Structure 1
Amino acid sequence: MGQDVPMTISADDSGPVRIVTAVLRDGDRVLLCHRSAGRRWYPDVWDLPGGHVEEGEDPKESLVRELRRSWESRHRSRPARRCMRSGPRRTTCKSG
């Protein structure tokens, strides 16, 4: 598994949090999740799937929970989009 590096993401300095992420590859393709524009932290950006590790939770169990949650909410909410990155600041997406 990866490194266990504490990081602070709270403006009120409530302390470090533990997060887990996954890099899911299929050849030269990588799964990314789009964060909603209404999110407090890093809104409207593409990110690796993952999330917070709950207090007392094993990071591996947390990753499974977060991946399952992302997958289930994704398939309930909207049709899939295929996105291709063609440069450092250019991403093109198509539905279906």
Structure 2
Amino acid sequence: MPPTARQDRFAASHGETVAYALGTIGREDDSQPVEDSEQGRKISEAMMEYWVTFMREGELSGKKLPDWPRHDLSLPKAMVFGNQAIAAR
């Protein structure tokens, strides 16, 4: 995701992912507008596919997407969205 003014303290703040998950990047009327870009649209498409698949099937996976592993307290990981989505520690 593109850097923001707050990124020197945080990675992505709670609300910054909403525009990607809902496919509203580039909308100026969004509460936290995100600049429209080709990379941003790809990230948004991946997030939306993960969300829809989870709602429909209860699993975080997608036909064209990397596996999003179940949360494991003994080996915590987070999904990182950039040039590609990866589960990282």
TM-score, normalised to structure 2, is 0.29
**Greater strand content:** 1
> TM-score with structure 1 length normalisation?
0.27
Greater helix fraction, Structure 1 or Structure 2: 2
Larger Rg: 1
Q: Which has the higher contact order (CA 8 A, sep 6+)?
A: 2
